[in-house]
Chains A and B, each alone.
Chain A
Amino acid sequence: MLKTFVVEDNPEQLATLREIIANHIMINEFDMALTLATPRAQELLDYLDGQPVQEGLYFLDIEYPEQELNGLTLASKIREQDVNAKIVFVSTHAEMAFLTFERRIEPLDFIVKDLGAATVKEKVETDIRVAYERYTKQGVASEAMFSYAKGGQLFNVPLAQVLFIETGMSRNRLVLHLEERLVQYNGKISDETTAHPELFRVHKSFLVNPQKLVRIDKKHQLGYFANGETVDIATRKMRDLVKLIQKSQWTVTFDEN
Chain B
Amino acid sequence: MLVFLLQILMNRELRQRRVYVTVTLMAVFLTAVYMWYDDYSDILTFLINMGLLAFVRHKRYFIVTSLTATIAYVLFSFFGSYATESLFYWVGLSINHWSGWLFEIVGELIVTACMLAVAISFRLLQKRHPQQLNNDVTLNVVVSVLTVVTIAFLAITAAADNYRIGSGFVGILMIILVAVLMINAGTFIYLFYSYTMRVQAHRQALERRQYDIYVDNLERSYQNLRQFRHDYQNILLSLSEYVETSKDSELKAYFKSVMDSSQQSLCRDFGHFDNLEQIKDKPLKAIIQDKFSVARQAGISVRLEADAPVSGLAIDPVTLARVSGILLDNAIDAAKAQPDGQLAVAAIHYPQMVELVFANSLRQPVERVDQLLVAGNTTKGTNHGQGLATVRELLDPLDNVTYEISARQRFEFVISIEKG
Contacts and interface: CB of A to CB of B under 8 A. Distances in A.
B418 A150 contact: yes
A241 interface: no
Interface in A144-160: 150-153
B357 A97 contact: no
Contacts of A181: 369, 404-406
Contacts of A103: 346, 348, 355, 357, 414
B404 A229 contact: no
Nearest to A226: B367
B339 interface: no
Given A99-B346, A169-B396, A151 B403 contact: no
A98 to B, nearest CB: 7
B369 A180 contact: yes
Nearest to A174: B402
Interface range on chain A (Cβ under 8 Å from partner)? 20 to 34
Contact of A152 (B353, B368, B369): B353
Contact of B402 (A72, A173, A177): A173
B363 interface: no
B370 to A, nearest CB: 6
Most buried by B among A98, A99, A152, A178: A99
A112 to B, nearest CB: 14
Majority-rule SS of A interface residues = mixed
B406 A97 contact: no
A28 interface: no
A228 B397 CA distance: 28
Interface string A163-189: 000001110010001101111111000
A100 B396 contact: no
A51 interface: no
Interface string B357-392: 101000000011110010000000000000000000
Nearest to B416: A150
Contacts of A229: 368, 370
B353 A228 contact: no
Contact of B416 (A98, A151, A170, A227): A151
B351 interface: yes
Contacts of B359: 99
Contacts of B307: 72, 97, 100
A153 B355 CA distance: 11
Nearest to A94: B274
A83 to B, nearest CB: 18
Nearest to A151: B353
19 contacts: A97-B346, A98-B344, A99-B305, A99-B412, A100-B307, A100-B348, A103-B346, A103-B355, A150-B402, A150-B416, A151-B350, A151-B353, A177-B370, A181-B369, A181-B404, A184-B402, A184-B403, A184-B404, A229-B370
Interface of B: 305, 307, 344-346, 348, 350-353, 355, 357, 359, 367-370, 373, 396-397, 399, 402-408, 412, 414, 416-419
Interface of A: 72, 97-100, 103-104, 150-153, 168-170, 173, 177-178, 180-186, 227-229
